[in-house]
Amino acid sequence: MNSSTDREAERYVRQSGLLPQALLRRHPVTVVGVWAIGRQVALQLGFMGVSPLTLIDPDRVERVNLGAQGYLEADLGTLKVDATAGLIARLNADVAVVTHGRRFRRTGDAAAVLFACVDSIETRGHIFAAAKDSVRFFVDGRMSAEALRVLTVSNAATLAHYPGTLFRAEEAYQGRCTARTTYYGATIAAGLMVSHFARWLRGLAVPADIMLNLLADELVGCDAGANGEVRHSA
């Protein structure tokens, strides 16, 4: 294989049976928040060849981000979106990455495929309110210590279910800051989110809401009914 087209085909040949490259390229993706989960989501999508890929986050890399979020010493002081885009460019030059080093904007940032990887219920609600009328696939990843939750909106039933998960901030679990995030937990949550995207691309059913407790080895999932009611399965 010598041409650029042949080289690209060879790069993705091991995933082509599940994710044809033409299918991936028809669905640009926006990732809001490149903290622990969002950075891993962006890297996984970059490896897969999703392009263009838009990253939105106003924060810069601090030393506290190195262990749990997977940033490098050389990234310190850099915008997280730029540090992540730089690594994606090294991992896969085929991917076009657009970066916005600012907060999500209600006008202009809503996308048909959107990964919400933020750290507050209020921000999730703001993003969802902006995206709900136009989004085709929306996935929200949450993590507290070793408890993970992934919520997906991909049809009318899941669209009805999701708003009920936007509880008031004071109702959220309050874990110690030193126990909220792990690199391995973020990687697992990101993998679940990306796998739901892959299933949606292939026209397969996607669960509305799954919860995984790594410490207890416990996985609970649910589908949403026509009115947003949930059916749980262990």
Which pLDDT score is estimated for 223?
81
Per-residue burial over 141-173, b = 16 or more CB atoms within 10 Å of its CB, e = otherwise: bbbebbbbbbbbbbbebbbbbbeebbeeeeeee
Report yes or no: 146 and 185 within 8 Å, Cβ to Cβ.
yes
Instruction: Specify the 3-state DSSP secondary structure of 55.
Output: strand
Confidence at residue 111, expressed as pLDDT on a 0 to 100 scale: 95
Enclosing H/E stretch for 48: helix 36-48
Please report the pLDDT score of residue 177 as a whole number. Answer: 44
Instruction: List the single range of 81-85, 172-176, 185-189, 216-220 with lowest mean pLDDT.
Output: 172-176
Least confident of 8-12, 92-96, 156-160: 8-12
Q: How confident is the model at residue 46 (pLDDT cuts 50, 70, 90)?
A: very high
Average pLDDT value over all residues in the chain = 90
For residues 129-135, give the mean pLDDT.
96
Pick from 52-66, 147-161, 174-188: least confident: 174-188
Name the domain count of the chain.
Answer: 1
Q: What backbone torsions phi and psi does residue 211 show, to the nearest 5 degrees?
A: -125, 130
CB burial class (10 A; 0-12, 13-18, 19+) of residue 78? middle
Q: What is the mean pLDDT of residues 184-195?
A: 97
- Cα–Cα separations (whole angstroms), residue 216 to 145, 182, 213, 219, 220: 12, 16, 5, 9, 12
CA distance 71 to 231: 38
pLDDT of residue 226: 52
Host domain of residue 167: 4-233
113 phi and psi angles, rounded to 5 deg: -125, 115
222 contact partners, CB below 8 Å, separation of at least 6: 207, 208, 209, 210, 230, 231, 232, 233
Strands 113-116 and 97-100: unpaired
For 57-102, the three-class secondary structure string (H helix, E strand, C coil) is: CCCECCCCHHHHHCCCHHHCCCEHHHHHHHHHHHHCCCCCEEEECC
Q: Which letter, b or e, does each residue of 124-133 get, where b requires 16 or more Cβ atoms within 10 Å of its Cβ?
A: bebbbebbee
| Predicted local distance difference test score (pLDDT) of residue 62 | 97
Record the pTM: 0.90
Query: What does the DSSP 8-state code read for residue 26?
Result: T
**What is residue 1's predicted lDDT score, i.e. its pLDDT?**
45
CATH number for the domain spanning 138: value is 3.40.50.720
